[in-house]
Amino acid sequence: MKRKLAAGNWKMNGTNARLAEITALATAHPAPGVDILICPPATLVVQAAALTADHAMMIGAQDCHPAPSGAHTGDISAPMLADAGAGAVILGHSERRENHHETNDLISEKARAAHAAGLIAVICLGETLAQREAAQTLDVIASQMHASLPDSASAANTVIAYEPVWAIGTGLTPTSAQIAEVHGLLRSLLAERLGAPEAAALRLLYGGSVKPSNALEIFDIPNVDGALVGGASLKSPDFSPIITALESAS
pLDDT of residue 170: 85
Q: For residues 190 and 184, what is the distance between their CA atoms, to the nearest angstrom?
A: 10
Domain that holds residue 192: 5-249
Q: pLDDT tens-digit profile of 13-27?
A: 999 999 999 999 999
- For the chain, residues with pLDDT lower than 50 are none
User: Which pTM does this prediction carry?
Assistant: 0.97
Q: pLDDT tens-digit profile of 18-63?
A: 999 999 999 999 999 999 999 999 999 999 999 999 999 999 999 9
Q: How many domains does the chain have?
A: 1
Other Cβ atoms less than 10 A from the Cβ of 139: the count is 13
pLDDT of residue 102: 98
pLDDT of residue 171: 84
pLDDT of residue 172: 84
For residue 13, give the CATH number of its domain.
3.20.20.70
At residue 7, φ and ψ (nearest 5 deg) are -115, 135
Active-site residue list? 93, 163
